[in-house]
Amino acid sequence: MMLTLKPGTSKAQLDAISKKIEDLGFSPHITHGKEVTVIGVIGENAILTRDIFEAMDAVEAVTPISKPYKLVSREFKKDNTVIHLSHGVQVGAEHVIVMAGPCSVDTKERLLYTAEAVRAAGAKVLRGGAFKPRTSPYAFQGHGEKALRFLAEAGKLTKMPVITEVMNVNDVKLVEEYADVIQIGARNVQNFDLLKAVGKAKKPVLLKRGLATTIQEWLMSAEYIMTNGNYNLMLCERGIRTFETATRFTLDLNAIPVIRHLSHLPIIIDPSHGVGVREYIPSLAKAAVAAGADGLIIEVHPKPEEALSDGPQSLLPDQFAKLMAELRSIALAVGRAI
């Protein structure tokens, strides 16, 4: 951590700062520049004392040098993390894993129909919502445990691990019982108690990025999960909020190479929520695979206009099958498979 001092800082102030650094167990390292003086605070976890120095009047700015996260970082673990799910599915290995299914689980029949269709097209994981975070209190909020049961059943019948979202610390045990992967949604990316709870769960977690979460903050939320003991963690980019309104959100594919550079965790892309318009999804799904994503999560529904949520961005089963064929070619072109 480097402290830039305000012009005109006195010798006495400089000494006081140096003393404070030493009192905290670090070493000060002073650089007198032409215009300003900079003090390096040397020692492990110096960054955790940032606020102390930032609160001082003589300090103009504090610049972190080392990264504020550890376990999630590429420095901590050189090799890519591979997560093993049931039915032999591996996330983060050679295969690009496509997760597909309806936004919300509605009837058992329709779910099963969709599950079989996406399975036939090459999906490896079944997605479906039981607890739904909805902006409006008047909107459908999910079928809860019943939906979890349908989902587990459909997964078993079609031999696919299932993924579903948990919104509440009190539901973690329940979701863990039925699901193979626990999803944390964008709106809960900084629900720290929930992060701690899934950090103690035994099932893998998929952590979505929030609408306005920087990549660094997202990795720190991931760190919450890992420090609580759960190392089977994948990250999922699902669109950030920008000024653009032609798409629902701005799917940020830049996150793929950045996460690859900074972390060993698998990176999944959700084009359905990211762009929010059915006809734009295939283009972005293909881009994600070309950019190096480890997986995709895509909404598919046989009757979008009857879906309980997110109909406008759900692909029809035959659109999904067509997309899968195209994705296969792209995967091959980048040395992977689907």
Closest to 274 (Cα-Cα) out of 239, 306, 305, 233: 239
Contact between 313 and 298 (Cβ < 8 Å) = no
Query: Which residue, 119 or 127, is less far from a copy of itself as judged by CB?
Result: 127
Contact between 131 and 119 (Cβ < 8 Å) = no
Which residue do the tokens 């102030």 mark?
13
Cβ at position 263, least distance to a copy of itself in Å: 12
Query: Which residue, 77 or 159, is less far from a copy of itself as judged by CB?
Result: 77
Cβ at position 283, least distance to a copy of itself in Å: 4
221: which 2 tokens?
A: 């939320």
Query: Which residue, 161 or 239, is less far from a copy of itself as judged by CB?
Result: 239
Contact between 172 and 205 (Cβ < 8 Å) = no
Contact between 307 and 104 (Cβ < 8 Å) = yes
Angle between helix axes 255-262 and 215-227 (nearest 10 degrees) is 50
Cβ at position 23, least distance to a copy of itself in Å: 11
Closest to 160 (Cα-Cα) out of 112, 124, 206: 124
Cβ at position 279, least distance to a copy of itself in Å: 7
> What is the C-alpha separation between 165 and 181, in angstroms, rounded?
9
Per-residue CA distances from 91 to 107, 237, 266 (Å): 29, 15, 7
Q: Which amino acid is at 278?
A: R
Element (H, E) at 208: strand 205-208
Angle between helix axes 317-333 and 108-121 (nearest 10 degrees) is 30
Cβ at position 338, least distance to a copy of itself in Å: 12
Per-residue CA distances from 159 to 68, 180, 300, 327 (Å): 40, 12, 18, 22
Exposure class string for 217-230: b at 16+ Cβ within 10 A, else e: bbbbbbbbbbeeeb
Query: Which residue, 2 or 174, is less far from a copy of itself as judged by CB?
Result: 2
